[in-house]
Amino acid sequence: MKQNDRHLWPFTPKVSIICSILLLLSLLIVSSILRKLSGWPDANSTNVVLIGILLVSLLPIILALLDLIIERGARIEYHGVKIDFSDFSQRGVSDASDIVITENIGVEGQSIQTSGESQILGALKKATRNDIVVINLKEGQSWWETRLLVLAAGAERLGKPDKMVFLGTEGGKEKCFEGWAYSKDILYCLTSSNPEYNRILVTARVAANRLETVEPLEPVPPNPVAAVPAFPADIISGWAFKYMWSAFDYGTGLPNIFLPEQILQQELATRFETSEWKPAISINRLDDLFRSVLHKEKIEQSWSSEHQLRGFFECKSDYIAVTKNEKYSTFLSKSEVFNELLKNLVVKRDTEK
């Protein structure tokens, strides 16, 4: 087979641009004629149709760009990961730099009430300073639904981490990539799976919101009994009353920004984390809970360059995982990787002149 026979678009860049312009004009004319004859597209669908026309008209340029990437063998290095679309003899992957949260956000095997409140809140603070958090389910006993609910609730409320990557142990191989999902989707699936989860979450947030109306305290010595917050009588009831002493950091006098999650984890622990049973998340349970929102696309470092490239462009989500020998390596933004590809192509072209 000739090399040219493998081209997706065997024409020059100038022809590609001319074809895109002609295709755009032709589709706009057809759309205008259809609208006059049949009334379609109407006002509600005009924007969607125009976007579709624009995307279709760009096909010649996109196909020419894909040919260029394959032909020139673009290689990128992003966040310590080398993705070489032509030569894998010198590939290498550094350790992932994503934030990994300790099992169960506390001490593995202990309930949230005994694992130490400071450890749990400290893990939450660490997680909410990052965009991505890695959760290793191991063999299925390292995380409970209740702990994941606390993390997802804090992430959804504060906006970080907005993506969760799940790993597991399969066939004796550790840190296998099982999928990723947005934190807000994880929270929605968990609260939908158990109405009591949702009720506890809503009540915890209502109680925390009521306590937010209290003015900050003056910093006091480490003796909270000496500081009596000026709680209005109309909010001292229910869970707001139960958790009013947790509403402030008595060292600074400022509000406890993780109060909703602190209330949530205590109530979940009381109701669901018993010595006889804990809601563990196995790999099968992960799929049952989050099948509709879990993204499993990945690029494997051992794949051929063409296989990698096809996997990258066929991925429908905005992010994709990278694995090495089936073990999770890192997590990439497709838009940023695409920019790196284009930059490498431009640099390579300039150096070849």
What lies within 8 Å, CB to CB, of 242 at 6+ separation is 207
Classify 172 in phi/psi space as left (phi over 0), alpha (psi -120 to 50) or beta. left
Cβ–Cβ < 8 Å for 320, 296: no
**Listed residue (99, 179, 96) closest to 137, CA to CA:** 179
Residues 6+ apart with CB under 8 A from 308: 83, 85, 299, 300
- Residue whose structure tokens are 């070489």: 84
**Helices and strands (DSSP H and E) totals, the chain:** 12, 11
Q: Output the pLDDT for position 111.
A: 43
Q: Is the separation of the CB atoms in 286 and 178 below 8 Å? A: yes
- Which pLDDT value is given to residue 115? 46
Joined together, the tokens standing for residue 188 give: 């929605």
16 in Cβ contact with 61 (< 8 Å): yes
Give the containing element (helix H, strand E) for 249. Answer: strand 248-249
d(CA 58, CA 56): 5
Tens-of-pLDDT digits for all 353 residues of the chain?
Answer: 444 444 566 777 677 788 888 888 888 888 888 888 887 888 777 888 888 888 888 887 777 766 665 555 555 555 555 555 543 323 333 333 456 666 666 544 444 444 445 666 677 778 778 888 899 999 888 888 998 999 999 999 999 889 999 999 998 899 999 999 999 999 999 999 999 999 999 999 999 988 888 777 666 655 555 555 666 666 666 788 788 778 877 777 788 889 999 999 889 988 888 767 778 899 999 999 999 999 999 989 888 877 887 888 788 888 989 898 889 988 888 887 777 767 766 666 556 65
